[in-house]
Amino acid sequence: MNVFEFLAFAILMICVAGVVVIDRLFAGKRGTEHQLRLAEQRVQELLLRISELERHADELRQQLEWNRRLLEAQDRVLQQLGAPTTSAELPSARTRA
């Protein structure tokens, strides 16, 4: 093997090693970009879930308010009818005891 063949072989090996190194560097970058896209997608899904949960919480608050108003109206009607107001006076309390 003469000097020129040795130099050609060395240059070929360096080029192959360079291609492998560059490929691994860019593959790492592609992996990082993919992870970033997955993270962004997860953030969007979580934001959507948060908005759904906030809407559901608002519905529950509204239901709670309506139930509170109904109980207040029921209390007023019972007071007007002269119904017992303490639990000891209620018939169900006597049957449990």
Is 12 within the bounds of a domain? no
Q: Is residue 53 part of a domain?
A: yes
Q: For the residues 88-94, what does the mean pLDDT come to?
A: 56
Task: Establish if 4 belongs to a structural domain.
Answer: no
22-70 tens-digit pLDDT = 777 777 667 778 888 999 999 999 999 999 999 999 999 999 999 999 9
Query: Domain count of the chain?
Result: 1
2-16, 53-67, 81-95 — which is least confidently predicted? 81-95
Identify whether 86 is part of a domain: no
The answer to whether the pTM exceeds 0.85 is no
Please check whether residue 58 lies inside any domain of the structure: yes
Q: Would the pLDDT of 81 be above 60?
A: yes
Q: Would you state the pLDDT for residue 97?
A: 44
Q: If you ran DSSP here, which 8-state letter would residue 90 be given?
A: S
Domain housing 45 = 30-64
**Within-domain flag for 76:** no
Whether the CB-CB separation of 76 and 70 falls below 8 Å is answered with no
